[in-house]
Amino acid sequence: MNRNAIPWIVAAVAVFGLAAVSLMLGRTLLPARMTAQAKGSLIPWVITWGMIWGTALIGVTVAGFLFVVGVSKVRSRSA
């Protein structure tokens, strides 16, 4: 059984791009740390950044798995 690697690699690039977009949105939409600290909202700021970094790391992990699945050879069971 042959597997076409192109869709898997395209999906991996798309997921990696979504991880990068989440980081860019975080940098754009969240205030700076000093601003959050001055307003007294440092803890929600830290929690939000933790969720953003978690999302980015999960996206990179999923992209890596998609890439590995796409380029690996399929082993067929022989009876």
Reduce the secondary structure of 15-46 to three states and give it as a string.
HHHHHHHHHHHHHHHCCCHHHHHHHCCHHHHH
**Domains of the chain, residue spans:** 5-71
Q: Please return the burial class of 5, using the count of CB atoms within 10 Å of its CB with bins 0-12, 13-18 and 19+.
A: middle
pLDDT of residue 74: 66
For the chain, what is the radius of gyration of the CA atoms?
19
pLDDT of residue 30: 95
pLDDT higher than 70, residue 77: no
pLDDT of residue 75: 63
CA–CA distances in Å: residue 44 to residues 3, 28, 53: 45, 16, 14
pLDDT of residue 72: 87
In tens, the pLDDT along 4-56 reads 889 999 999 999 999 999 999 999 999 999 999 999 999 999 999 999 999 99
